[in-house]
Amino acid sequence: MLKVFTAAGAGMLLVLTFTPARALDNGLARTPPMGWNSWNSFHCDVSAKLVEATADAMVASGMRAAGYVYVNIDDCWLLKTRSRHGDLVPDPRKFPHGIEAVAAYVHRKGLKLGIYESAGATTCAGYPGSIGHEKQDAAQFARWGVDYLKYDNCGDYKGETYLQRYTAMRDALAQSGRPIVYSLCEWGNKQPWTWAQPIGNLWRTTQDITPRWRTDQPENSYPQGILDILDQQAKLSTTSHPGAWNDPDMLEVGNGYLTDDESEAHFSLWALLNAPLIAGNDLRDMPQGVRDILTNRDVIAVDQDWGGRQGYRVSEDGNTQVWAKPMSDGSVAVILLNTRRGPVNIVTTAKAIGSRAAASYRVRDLWKHTDSVSDGRIEATVGTHAVAMFRVWPGSKSGTR
């Protein structure tokens, strides 16, 4: 769509913007959304208390300053039946003052509120879904001050196709008059990367994540480990754009069976994939090491690069992988990944990762936060289930950034 704005003043200002139809035209999520979601750590144990304490922690931990914005309530926030007017009713034991009060609290902290519903007759935990009630529910969310909707795929579809169900909520959100990020949670069943760009701001590409390095389960089964999901992203690098993101599921950094190195690898890889960075740990009780991972600004800058080009797999040899992402300033972000046990030396080159040719390169280690100069060889010894992550600028002078 071509938009032309003109304004008369001291001179005539003419601004042209071009919004390709390949992304939902709601102006939101121009970089991948960043925030937190209750599901991975709390499942159905959600409440106003938890959400408000999480918002406090997001500020106190430095996460808000690092770019995290959305505080998202997942399933189980509502009662099992609608009101006699057909409205969704927040569970008064969990949200005694309703969602509106929680939204106001979160907004006062300079953050935004997200909520969860399903494009079927029930949510995955058996609460009322939104099919047939899209307009009513979207209007309700807008009245409450909701800024983000995760829209799941559970319950009876009542004979409607996935396109009808996900489009109905898109249109209802647009009609609600409030800017609401629209996150499709269709689990990758119908390959949403082939159709979801004009419908949602992001779409899940896989079944649910679990905090394990790998499960080796088949693609369509539940749950999936970090490496299982990573493998499924390799073919998707050209299908995301600003406003329209592949979502390899929420972060498990700091959760379950993941070591610190595995959490670091997971965070690095999700950033390189332009994934939404939606933390799934308990922010109220976060070890310093986990906080350091989630607030690593060098890595976050890779995810949030305005050019929005997703990373891709350069090579793999069974034990190691190299991934690269072109950055909009002409640098290239690169990950050397050791998928197995025991340290291994991994080598790539500026040429292999698609960097512009130069006599020398400035190489920044995004975890050690140190700079060095290279003739083009990029190398590190990488431990068990870990990564080294660099950003490579052609030309060795500092300030070429």
**Interaction site with ligand GLA (CB under 6 A):** 39, 74-75, 116, 123-125, 152, 185, 187, 208
Displacement of CA 338 from its chain's centroid (Å): 23
Whichever of 115 and 324 has its CB closer to ligand GLA, that residue is 115
- Report helix, strand and coil shares of the chain as percent, to nearest 5: 25, 25, 50
Q: Active site residue: 87, 91, 208, 365, which one? A: 208
Measured from the CB atom, the residue of 131 and 387 that comes closer to ligand GLA is: 131
Specify the 3-state DSSP secondary structure of 4.
strand
Q: How far is the CB of 124 from ligand GLA (least distance, A)?
A: 3
3-class SS letters over 302-365: HHCCCCCCCCEEEEECCCEEEEEEECCCCCEEEEEEECCCCCEEEEEECCCCCCCCCCCEEEEE
Rounded to 10 degrees, what is the CA torsion of 320, 257, 56, 26?
A: 50
Distance CA 73, CA 372 (A): 43
Phi and psi angles of residue 364, each rounded to the nearest 5 degrees, phi first: -105, 130
Q: Of the candidates 326, 332, 307, 328, which has an alpha carbon nearest to the alpha carbon of residue 394?
A: 332
Smallest distance, Å, CB 327 to ligand GLA? Answer: 30
Question: Is 303 known to be catalytic?
Answer: no
Residue nearest to ligand GLA (CB): 124
Smallest gap from Cβ 177 to ligand GLA, in A, equals 26
> 152 an active-site residue?
yes
To the nearest whole angstrom, how small is the minimum distance from the Cβ of residue 43 to ligand GLA?
Answer: 8
| CA 258 – CA 256 distance, rounded (Å) | 6
Nearest-approach distance from CB 123 to ligand GLA, in angstroms: 6
Nearer to ligand GLA, 56 or 208 (CB): 208
Looking at residue 276, the DSSP 8-state letter turns out to be -
From the candidates 152, 247, 249, 305, give the one annotated as an active-site residue. Answer: 152
Q: How many CB atoms lie within 10 A of CB 297?
A: 13
Supply the residues annotated as catalytic: 152, 208
